[in-house]
Structure 1
């Protein structure tokens, strides 16, 4: 199992695990869905929508890994860095740093 001293060191590895364009798209869609469910939880004041946010985000991401990347999600080995990587990659897609 690889060890990373910082998120800055981890992120290039994370991007390498997301090299397939369809996988990146699935991650992006899952993150959009997760944000929508978080908004719904706030508007409806119902914390159960937060569970839907987690399921939505991870379901789309894991489909990308298992069917397109053919690798295990980094979440299993590096849960905190992986969670942060999802959102940095989301931002990088939005800003055009990563091809969508």
Structure 2
């Protein structure tokens, strides 16, 4: 029987364990960057139709990373909100150099 995760503090280390492949992490960074760019462009140009592309871009890049490089099932299927929060946390942790694209070089969080 699988243990149910009950807090974000428990979830984030699990999330990172599902994102050890460099290409998977890179695809998450690219996808999240595109999501932020689309959202900002939609707001600046008052074009809400662009928001339709946000989940396609975000999940598209991430799921390619999981299915073809990480070879696991995305955590978003079981924990959608914590996965979304973790994706942004991992993104900003990578940009701030708290994490590396190479998981073996990660500093302990």
Whether TM exceeds 0.5 here: the answer is yes
- Which residue number corresponds to residue 50 of structure 1? 51
Q: Which has the larger radius of gyration?
A: 2
In the alignment, what sits opposite 1:9?
A: 10
User: Runs of 4+ in structure 1 displaced over 4 angstroms?
Assistant: none
For structure 2, list consecutive stretches of 5 or more residues without a partner in the other structure. Answer: 102-109
Structure 1: 5+ residue runs without aligned partners? none
2:72 corresponds to: 71
Which whole-Å CA distance do the structure 2 matches of 1:45 and 1:52 have between them? 15
RMSD: 1.0
Query: Normalising by the residue count of structure 1, what TM-score does the alignment of the two structures yield?
Result: 0.95
Residues 5 and 61 of structure 1, relative CA distance in 2, 3 Å threshold: same
Partner of 1:82: 83
**TM-score, normalized by length of structure 2?**
0.88
